[in-house]
Amino acid sequence: MPRTASAEVVWTSRWIRLGGAAALLGGLAWTVKGLVILVGGDQPPLLFETAPVMFGAGLLSVAYSTMPPSRRRNAAIGLGVASALAGLAALVSELVGEVAGVALATSSLTLMAGLLTLTRRGTWPAPLAWWVGLAMLPALVVGGMLSELDERLLEIPLICLGLAWLVVGWAAALHPRAVSSAA
């Protein structure tokens, strides 16, 4: 960042990087979880439940950094916040031993809606994030079909989504571009 950058641009860049790092960690969590299950069969604790919080933060970061101020951007940011909060509720529910199904479903649906609110032809990584949102439901269908052969094969589409989130997070964390009124 040049020395002449305003404090607002520096602060914005830090938030974008933080959201990108969160998306990267969420993608890493899903990828590691899926690989561990494929190799050994047992699910590692809390990796699946931690990722939705991170994905919501990643969506927020991508929406803020790649879209100009608009209602569409506000909707994507709001859906990112809702997804992260629902993911946090699911994580806390899991930690206290409760069923987190509704919170997890809410987090996933708001995440998918938020990703599909992004623009397909915008600044990188928004197009990839949009495609991740589009791929979520088909990935679950393919995973369900694969799980009929072997339950562990359900992880293959989730690993693919995790890897895509790694790329989205990497792009947002390492190459933040604020498309805001300050930039």
124: tokens are: 């990188």
* Rounded CA separation 79/174 (Å): 23
Task: Say whether the peptide bond before residue 125 is cis (omega within 30 degrees of 0).
Answer: yes
Question: How far from the centroid of its chain's Cα atoms is residue 116's Cα?
Answer: 12
Supply the pLDDT for residue 173. 84
Please report where in the chains the tokens 């393919």 appear, as a residue: 142
Supply the pLDDT for residue 182. 39
* pTM of the shown model: 0.88
Would you place residue 56 in the very low, low, confident or very high pLDDT band (cuts 50, 70, 90)? very high
Q: Which amino acid type is present at position 108? A: S
Sign of the torsion angle spanned by Cα atoms 175, 83, 114, 182: negative
